[in-house]
Structure 1
């Protein structure tokens, strides 16, 4: 039996010599019981320290003397090392070997108080970890550099954006001011031309007068389109949707485009409706205005244009349908491009091709949907989808449809106030030709100084918005205070901003946009004169 046990012990000893780890077993007194060759080799110990019975303290002291345990007193370092290995049931520590290799130790206490120490060369793993750490550090540095670079770029972009916003703001302010100065003489020219057209109807100058009118209309359309695009792109347009009676939107199209359609021998039909929609009245009106204008322009004489609403779920679909020249699907994108026109359309009507570009911009700004369907040579349907709302009872801004008055049929007293003398003279000429009793002034100060209203009470007031000393809205309030709170008034202005329209609507004041179109002016005067039939109450 003793021989068998001795053979087993020898076999175990031989087996552990082939393990890649260094292994040593110590008894309860921390004396070496057995150690393999790898243990001796990795620690580079002398033969005397790997013989059975060699104290663990002697091994630790040898390593300390050699410098493997760091600087300081060797005995103290040896004791600290032994305490580290034996303090816990299992301990894992690292040590740099005599050859500079990284050694990882695992020590385990045995039930009888002994100790088992195993360790292995983990130099490659440690180097890999250090390389990974260096890589991570390098990556972090690169990330910090990229972040700093992105921060600089973002800062530069923010500065550039701020400069662009400031430039856009300045451009918008400039265009707002310029539009007034540019449209003022154009307005006067339109008024003079309107008088000339009516007086030249039976003379050889009729064609010449109409040609001048057409040219002025083209200039007005181009300027209005460019101003609209500028306001949209600069963000100056702020949508403010409210419940709107759809009949008012449609009636406005009939009043504005009825004369144009009749002149071109085109049947314009507006379908009556009691529906209500949620919309920014001014901006949606501009969209429909462009769509109806285009439909009439590109429909040959004898054709038809239909405008109406249909309910589609919780939305209303506003259709503008024509029997015009149409287009094919390949031309859809071209339709909405700036300064781009279809060849056949360019032959039919003048313009820069900005109308549908403005429509597209407004539709996007309002978050609406525009649908189009067309057949080349057969006609087109443009459909604007608007949120439906409950039916609202809103007094229409338009009175009963008035028949087109003949020349000289407007027997009204009209007070005109404008700070441009040329516009005053042109307005006087046109209104007097229509049969109106007209008094005019450049300012409220002139009205008061010359006593223009003594013994003369106007049926209505046509007031410029940009006066020298006050706004037209405040001037109208002053007149109402001094003449009568019911005095009907219209603001005649080149300012097309929704803010001005909103202020005018709040005070019950109509808006006529410069350059003034005679048909629109006659319709406004007729509507205001109907209001004046209500007895006025003098308040001052």
Structure 2
């Protein structure tokens, strides 16, 4: 793997080590794949037992010998404990730890036969529960004492809850701050890989380049899923509903999923509507993206996927319908469980089993309704219901969004500004390969100091948001003031917050999220080029 990929993986591991729960993953042979620092800290086992490849039985045998599982034959106790953890697709159990603390274990079987074990110290909660139980048994004659004790216990519970909320808030804030640093090296690696893929066509390196791209995509999916789940569960995602046209919700589906559908020989059809919904455009878009992605992944070549909108009374129904493998009613709950995938689906496509879990969380956070109907072997229908409204805010006109195959060589002058040199190098390599005249800078000071714009007027600007001394939005305003207010620009950022997107829209600036996908970048550049063409006609 490239240095950028290794850096991204190391950053992801650092983020996982900050999660307060102990987590370990075992393969189908029940041998350790990885564990985080909290897992090793709470279990207090020798270092040789937390090395990758260690059998789960060896770890259980050590704990049994130490007395963690109570009195009895250590080997028998170890086998019983493993059976308890693997007896069902999901299990929950409690036991005392080596230091006398109460530990609560959660185990989940993976589709390939592997096992995920997580646990947390619940000593304070259990003590509070026991104290409440004791007090409830001695109510008579001790009203005053009971009231005082309950007040004290409730205060302790409130304090524990406040601490848990604070820890959750700190975790969310950490992940939000870390996401930028996590995505930066991954973005550079994606850009380098995109250039490599295009240059390696019809060579022996093509398969290797595509394998690297697939690995980077998997890392990006894991990071996005972890960040999404963390934001939703902590309440950091706050919906901002606004009138949005149904066509506006669907207009990016063809660009984003058209290549994927064509590659799998699947007919993707988008049917819009003139209806208007009251919805958070970004969060509803995330729901639709996950549903369409699943529909394409689990539909056989030659099949069909339909994404359509229709009015139903005072609501709008958005359907994602496929002719894929389907599922039966008994599997509904399993579909939305984390790290859970149906056996046939796991054989068809790679994945973590987090997509529909995120969909369910988003639907609940937005207060929406999701219906599903499916027949095994015949296909599925997921229907999202949105409140309808009569008014719609006029969208900022950025030109028609083309499909990623609508143009080849791009003959444009493009200025790229980013505070990461490796990202600039990767972006310059990709854009130059597309036929662009590219100039790059780490800051506005460098542009001014080196006279990069003397005698050279860019057709458009690609600007990072988090610069060292200013924001990308202010930097674009500075360029427009000095070069002309009509200068088309796109914000290229790892910050996916609705606030940044809203600020960009107010200033007529497009947004491209990192890690940058070549098709999305081409579409954004084409839209900005259309702005340049329209402005040139007005001036002419």
The answer to whether the superposition gives a TM-score over 0.5 is yes
**Are the counterparts in 2 of residues 493 and 511 from structure 1 also a CA contact under 8 Å?**
yes
Is the aligned partner of 1:515 residue 2:515? yes
Where do residues 409-488 of structure 1 align in structure 2 (5 Å cutoff)?
A: 409-488=409-488
Secondary structure at 1:190 match in 2 = helix
- The CA deviation at 1:160 is 1.2
Is the aligned partner of 1:343 residue 2:352? no
Distance 2:139 2:207 in 1: 80
The runs of 5 or more residues in structure 1 that have no matched partner are 1-137
The runs of 5 or more residues in structure 2 that have no matched partner are 1-137
**Are the counterparts in 1 of residues 323 and 379 from structure 2 also a CA contact under 8 Å?**
yes
Where do residues 66-77 of structure 1 align in structure 2 (5 Å cutoff)?
A: none
- The CA deviation at 1:486 is 1.5
CA RMSD, Structure 1 to Structure 2 (Å): 1.9
Secondary structure at 1:310 match in 2 = strand
Distance 1:166 1:535 in 2: 51
Q: Aligned residue for 2:387?
A: 387
Distance 2:292 2:405 in 1: 24
- The CA deviation at 1:534 is 3.7
Secondary structure at 1:532 match in 2 = helix
**Are the counterparts in 1 of residues 512 and 524 from structure 2 also a CA contact under 8 Å?**
yes
Q: Aligned residue for 1:198?
A: 198
Q: Aligned residue for 1:330?
A: 330
Where do residues 394-413 of structure 1 align in structure 2 (5 Å cutoff)?
A: 394-395=394-395, 399-402=399-402, 404-405=404-405, 409-413=409-413
**Are the counterparts in 1 of residues 254 and 403 from structure 2 also a CA contact under 8 Å?**
no
Change beyond 3 A, Cα 1:534–1:406: closer
Q: Aligned residue for 1:530?
A: 530
Secondary structure at 2:148 match in 1 = helix
Secondary structure at 1:159 match in 2 = helix
Secondary structure at 1:452 match in 2 = coil
Secondary structure at 2:151 match in 1 = helix
Change beyond 3 A, Cα 1:176–1:288: same
- The CA deviation at 1:330 is 0.7
Secondary structure at 2:370 match in 1 = strand
Secondary structure at 1:167 match in 2 = helix
Distance 1:139 1:182 in 2: 55
- The CA deviation at 1:257 is 1.0
**Are the counterparts in 2 of residues 271 and 309 from structure 1 also a CA contact under 8 Å?**
yes
- The CA deviation at 1:407 is 7.6
Distance 2:249 2:509 in 1: 17
Q: TM-score, normalised by structure 1?
A: 0.71
- The CA deviation at 1:437 is 0.9
**Are the counterparts in 2 of residues 251 and 398 from structure 1 also a CA contact under 8 Å?**
no
**Are the counterparts in 2 of residues 486 and 536 from structure 1 also a CA contact under 8 Å?**
no
Q: Aligned residue for 2:310?
A: 310
- The CA deviation at 1:395 is 3.7
**Are the counterparts in 2 of residues 244 and 276 from structure 1 also a CA contact under 8 Å?**
yes
Change beyond 3 A, Cα 1:513–1:527: same
Q: Aligned residue for 2:229?
A: 229
Distance 1:321 1:535 in 2: 41
Higher Cα Rg: structure 1 or 2? 1
Where do residues 276-291 of structure 1 align in structure 2 (5 Å cutoff)?
A: 276-291=276-291
- The CA deviation at 1:400 is 2.8
Q: TM-score, normalised by structure 2?
A: 0.71
Secondary structure at 1:243 match in 2 = strand
- The CA deviation at 1:480 is 1.4
Q: Aligned residue for 1:256?
A: 256
Distance 1:458 1:358 in 2: 41
Where do residues 41-56 of structure 1 align in structure 2 (5 Å cutoff)?
A: none
Distance 2:302 2:161 in 1: 52
**Are the counterparts in 2 of residues 248 and 396 from structure 1 also a CA contact under 8 Å?**
no
- The CA deviation at 1:427 is 0.4
Secondary structure at 2:318 match in 1 = strand
Secondary structure at 2:416 match in 1 = strand
Distance 1:420 1:154 in 2: 50
- The CA deviation at 1:401 is 4.8
**Are the counterparts in 1 of residues 398 and 531 from structure 2 also a CA contact under 8 Å?**
no
**Are the counterparts in 2 of residues 316 and 386 from structure 1 also a CA contact under 8 Å?**
yes
- The CA deviation at 1:310 is 1.4
Distance 1:209 1:457 in 2: 35
**Are the counterparts in 2 of residues 248 and 398 from structure 1 also a CA contact under 8 Å?**
no
Distance 1:459 1:365 in 2: 41
Q: Aligned residue for 1:150?
A: 150
**Are the counterparts in 1 of residues 305 and 320 from structure 2 also a CA contact under 8 Å?**
yes
Change beyond 3 A, Cα 1:414–1:176: same
- The CA deviation at 1:262 is 1.2
Distance 1:201 1:398 in 2: 32
**Are the counterparts in 2 of residues 491 and 510 from structure 1 also a CA contact under 8 Å?**
yes
Distance 2:254 2:314 in 1: 26
Distance 1:533 1:398 in 2: 12
Secondary structure at 1:535 match in 2 = helix
- The CA deviation at 1:402 is 2.5
Secondary structure at 2:252 match in 1 = helix
Is the aligned partner of 1:497 residue 2:497? yes
- The CA deviation at 1:237 is 0.6
Is the aligned partner of 1:374 residue 2:350? no
